[in-house]
Structure 1
Amino acid sequence: MEITRVLVVTAHPDDVDFGAAGSIAQFVDRGVEVTYLLVTSGDAGGHERELDGEGMADLRRAEQSAAAKAVGVTDVRFLSGYHDGRVEPTIELRRDIARVIRQVRPDVVITSTPERNYQFIGPSHPDHRAVGAATLDAVYPDARNPYAYPELADLEAWTVSEVWLIGGMSPNHYVDITDTMDRKITALSAHTSQVGHREGFEEFVRERWAGIAVRGGLGEGRYAEAFQVVPTA
């Protein structure tokens, strides 16, 4: 399948960078148009913070924009009205995501798995699972059904070919990101409010994504990101 446009839908700033920044950098290098859609601005995040929720949201939006720039993404969008830690897969959220799908018209949507990961709890934040579930429903059937939301009637229906899920227990697609690993680390390091306090953070990242490469059969000395690819066309 030829991929010309990719839409990434995540709950918080930094989710895409942990899950897919290396792969995104490769897409951008190939001339693929990539759009980020963040459901929240991460207003409940931060480590020993001095900012209030709105101040933290402003900071994290700026951090995400800097992280996106590190991998070549310039189209970064944030939904309004959804708060960190309180996201549910509502009809309203499905509609808001379907709207952006119809606007962007991506071949591939990357989002979080809606399933709980019992092997590694980190990806199983309730917001991640809610956004994953809402995004899958927005892909099928909402965005492709011209009658799903009368308020979106001015946007032509669109069928996404594949969804790539991050954070799941059953990956079936591994992307070798060895050549873009440094850019992934730069993107992650832009989220200072979240990772700036963690000693040895780069070593942690390299070790974890080297392990993914080994599990994916790419061998020692490589780095990889893992996805569960779901055909949706």
Structure 2
Amino acid sequence: MDWQRALVLMAHPDDAEYGTSAAVAEWIAQGKEVRYVLATRGEAGIAGMPPSESGPAREIEQRAACDRVGAEVLEFMDYPDGRIMESLQLRRDLAEVIRRHQPDGVVTLNHGDSWGPGTWNSEDHRALGRSVLNAVADAANEWIFPDLDGPPHKVKWTAIMSMSPTHAMPVSEESVEKAILSLAAHEQYLRALDSRPVEEQATEQVRWATGRGEGGPSVGFELIGL
């Protein structure tokens, strides 16, 4: 807890809202600063809605989701949704983001092959998660991308949305409620996924994500570098 600024690096709008936003709400309530940078605008994420319409709609929903947990800074890198690939360019762009925001910690995606038995993790998630881990090291090294602006910046810790967490962040009931509202802000996206009411979907997802530990609600992370 000896830090002040965290940077949430995700692939799409809604990625952080499946549980992690409860930790974000808790941190912000404690006086910490949390900023969001998303690789894409999620423009390929809503069936039947063209990317030219979906991208702006999902940006609006993500801004509402950030407002509901108190996160003020939201940026988009404008990589193509569904086509993120590991590359030197992606690592460079992420290292630039890290140097510019100078976070104490970084929160990012599960980069494993699955979210559990019978579930495949998207290439966007895997590529972004792995690239973030490399970019954290790149941002601290003055020689890997010497053309980047700003001095090297060393991140204290990286927290991964993992199915095999090593640490748990206790969260209050108020933070859980904020997280539910934050996920429910992705209204058009959730309606395209499931016919159930958006609030019901959001409640189910966030309660599951924050209720797997013992001793009250918490958010699990795999921590690297701590």
User: Pairwise CA RMSD of aligned residues?
Assistant: 2.0
Secondary structure, counterpart of 1:73 in structure 2: coil
For 1:172 and 1:188, locate their aligned partners in 2 and report how far apart those are by CA, in whole Å.
24
Q: CA deviation at 1:54?
A: 2.1
Partner residue of 2:70 out of 72, 89, 93: 72
Report deviation, 1:27: 1.1
Letter matched to residue 25 of structure 1: A
The residue aligned with 1:106 is: 103
Secondary structure, in 3 states, of the residue corresponding to 1:34? strand
Q: Which runs of 5+ in 2 are unaligned?
A: none
Residues 73, 213 of structure 1: alpha-carbon distance in 2 compared, 3 angstrom cutoff: closer
1:56 CA drift (Å): 1.0
Q: Is the 2:108–2:132 Cα contact (8 Å) retained in structure 1? A: yes
User: Counterpart of 2:141?
Assistant: 145
Contact 2:100 2:150 in 1 (8 A): yes
Q: 1:61 to 1:212 in 2, by over 3 A?
A: closer
Segments of structure 1 that go 5 or more residues without pairing to the other structure are none
Q: CA 1:203 to 1:209, structure 2 compared with 1: closer, same or farther past 3 Å?
A: same
Cα distance in 2, alignment partners of residues 208 and 138 from structure 1: 30
Q: Which residue of 2 aligns with 1:87?
A: 84
Instruction: Output the CA distance in 1 between the equivalents of 2:136 and 2:164.
Output: 20
Q: Which residue of 1 aligns with 2:212?
A: 215
CA distance in 1, matches of 2:181, 2:187: 11
For residue 151 of structure 1, give the secondary structure of its aligned residue in structure 2: coil
Q: CA deviation at 1:201?
A: 4.5
Identity of aligned residues (%): 33
Contact 1:174 1:213 (C-alpha < 8 Å) held by counterparts: no
* Contact 1:210 1:224 survives alignment (8 Å): no
Shift of the 158–7 alpha-carbon distance from structure 1 to 2, 3 Å rule, reads same
CA distance in 1, matches of 2:52, 2:152: 35
CA deviation after TM superposition for structure 1 residue 176, in Å: 2.9
Aligned to 1:62: 60
**When the two structures are superposed, what TM-score results if normalisation uses the length of structure 2?**
0.90
Counterpart residue number, 1:24: 24
Does structure 1 residue 194 correspond to structure 2 residue 189? yes
Q: How many residues align?
A: 223
| Distance in 1 of aligned mates of 2:118 and 2:28 | 30
